Amino acid sequence: MAGTSTWAAALVIARKDVAVEVRTRAAFLSATVFALLAAAIFYYAWDPTAVSSLDLAPGVLWVIFTFSGLLGLNRSFGAELSERAIDGLLTAPIAREAIFLGKALANLAFLIGVQLIAIPAVILLYNVPVGRALWGIAAVGLLAAIGLVAVGTLFSAMVVNTRFAELLLPMVALPFFVPVIMAAAQATTTLVAGRPIAEAGGWIRLLGAFDLVFAAACTVAYPFTIER
Amino acid sequence: MTGLSRRFGRRRALDGVTLTVGPGDCLAIFGPNGAGKSTLIRILAGLLEPSGGSARIAGLELPGGPAVRGMVGLVAHHSMLYPALTARENLVFVAQLFGVRNPRASAAAALERVGVLDRADTPVRSLSRGLQQRVAIARAAVHAPRLLLLDEPFTGLDPDGCAGLTEILAERRRAGGASIVVTHQLADALALATHVAVLYDGRVVRYEPRGTVDPDRYADGYRELVAAGG
């Protein structure tokens, strides 16, 4: 038997999580339906004469991501409790960090999938002239997703064994999401307004720094969340 | 295991358990509900830390790192399977995590041994309880572990399933692997075991080689022992 490296094990776990989600479609369907409904509700509550779409759309977009992402994050470790599959992961000869990284990669794929549906929906609904800013928005979306996933995956692991995991996760994770949402919304506002990407450089650097710090910190912290 | 103990709050689930299981041995542990059998299995699987004492597998202290976890296969109360995935996908996933060289071939071989190869591509949630238990047994054995831990492995198994389990344990024994079976099914376990022990209130109250035991009289002796409070 050969050993399994941390990244190889993480990829195996991520592939398994994606396969489970593809079979059940439970979280992805509810997250995308939620994202589309939320975009529509914001649209009908919006007074275009009071607030321009360029000012409103980035905020709407990131509120939608945050809450639809939480739906997926809730399921991340919750799915492991059925039949105590988590014990199977904990008894495997892999680094504990591989479990976290695998879950985080699967959650990232989940969030990017939601973004691929939600971003065009918001652009079309609010008639946002993205033009050449699309790639910039995609990069901001990816950076923000990494930050949300790093923090969200850790907190999902921490609350999964509690009685009110669905309620607790937003309560503990949302305060940590604030810097990500703030930076992502501000960068998106700058980009959709047609201003040069350099103007959003500070927010993008903040997102990058948050990703680096929290991805590393959460990976290191994860093994401590596992109760023996 | 030497002086192994485990407390949950003020309750002592294991109290100084000392047992040795050698290569090729199969130890059957009996005991009433709450005797500490599952706690012992969870400690040996690395899922619980002992409060006192120590346990070693092939010289490596528990709970250890990946090296010691790679030597253990576990059948627990829950199947540890993903209901949405097929039996084959579940086993390939486990084989990959354990670094088995040819995961698909090993998964197919393990499923064949428990007689589920013809249902290998059925989602686990569509299998009966007994077939799920067979897949759980195949899951525990797919990486040819040196120590196989089985907590109530006979649950839901029909005679064919029991035969598959017997074959896996015999094969592990021939390969020099050890196994520990925790169960209430005395007759089934006595047929497999090389050693038998009784756990009562967290303590080993009886331990002997299987060869010295008369299966017909053992059940009566066990019931009397439990009735007398160990």
3-state secondary structure B52-82: EEECEECCEECCCCHHHHCCEEEECCCCCCC
High-pLDDT (> 70) share of chain A, %: 98
**Is residue B98 less than 8 Å (CB to CB) from chain A?**
yes
**Distance separating alpha carbons of residues B103 and B92, to the nearest angstrom:** 5
B47–A90 C-beta distance less than 8 A: yes
The C-alpha atoms of residue B160 and residue B28 are separated, in whole angstroms, by 20
Q: What is the residue-wise DSSP string for B213-226?
A: --HHHHHHHHHHHH
Residues 6+ away with beta carbon under 8 Å from B92: B103, B104, B107
pLDDT of the residue at A4: 75
**Cα–Cα nearest to B180, from B95, B63, B73:** B73
- Going by pLDDT thresholds of 50, 70 and 90, the confidence category of residue A184 is very high
Within a domain: residue A151?
Answer: yes
Domain that holds residue A61: 6-225
User: Which candidate in A91, A97, A161, A224 is best for mutational testing of the B interface (most B CBs within 10 A)?
Assistant: A91
Distance, in Å, from the CA atom of A53 to the CA atom of A60, rounded to the nearest integer, reads 10
Pick from B72, B80, B93: which is nearest to A16 by CB?
A: B93
Q: How confident is the model at residue A3 (pLDDT cuts 50, 70, 90)?
A: low
- Distance from C-alpha of A149 to C-alpha of A24, rounded to nearest angstrom: 21
User: What residue type is assigned to position A180 of the chain?
Assistant: V
Q: Is residue A159 part of a domain?
A: yes
CB contact under 8 A, B78 and A24: no
B123 secondary structure, DSSP code:
B
User: What type of residue is B74?
Assistant: L
By the 8 A CB rule, do B1 and B20 touch? yes
ipTM of the complex: 0.92
Residues 6+ apart with CB under 8 A from A33: none
Mean of pLDDT values over A183-203:
91
Calpha distance A91→A135 (Å, rounded) = 42
- Tell me the nearest-neighbour CA distance from B189 into chain A, angstroms: 24
* Predicted pLDDT of residue B228: 77
The answer to the question of residue A186 being in a domain is yes
Can you tell me the distance from the alpha carbon of A4 to that of A95, in angstroms, rounded to the nearest whole number?
9
Residues with Cβ within 8 Å of residue B166, at least 6 apart in sequence: B191, B192
Q: Which residues contact residue A116 at a Cβ distance below 8 angstroms, ignoring those fewer than 6 apart?
A: none
Q: In one letter, which amino acid is A42?
A: F
Contact check, Cβ <8 Å, B98/A23: no
> How much is the pLDDT for B230?
64
Question: What percent of chain B shows pLDDT beyond 70?
Answer: 100
Inter-residue contact B149 to B72 (CB < 8 Å)? yes
B76 at interface of A, judged by CB pairs closer than 8 A: yes
Closest CA to B129 of B158, B107, B149, B108: B158
Count structural domains, chain A. 1
Q: Is residue A1 part of a domain?
A: no
Question: Residues A86-136: pLDDT tens digits?
Answer: 999 999 999 999 999 999 999 999 999 999 999 899 999 998 888 878 889
- In the 8-state DSSP scheme, what is residue B17? E
Give pTM, 2 decimals.
Answer: 0.91
CB of B123 within 8 Å of a chain A CB? The answer is yes
- DSSP states of B95-121: HHHTT-SSHHHHHHHHHHHTT-GGGTT
User: Does an H or E element contain B179, and which?
Assistant: strand B178-182
Low-confidence ranges of chain B (pLDDT < 70): 230
Pull the structure tokens for residue B194: 């090389």
**Confidence check: pLDDT of A196 > 60:** yes
The predicted pLDDT at position B136 comes to 97
Kindly list the residues from chain B whose CB atom is less than 8 angstroms away from the CB atom of residue A12: 93, 96-97
Q: Is B82 close to A20, i.e. CB distance below 8 A? A: yes
- CB-nearest to B74 from A13, A19, A91 is A91
- Taking CB atoms and an 8 Å cutoff, what residues of chain A touch B79? 83
A165 sits in which H/E element: helix A165-192
Residue A187 lies in a domain: yes
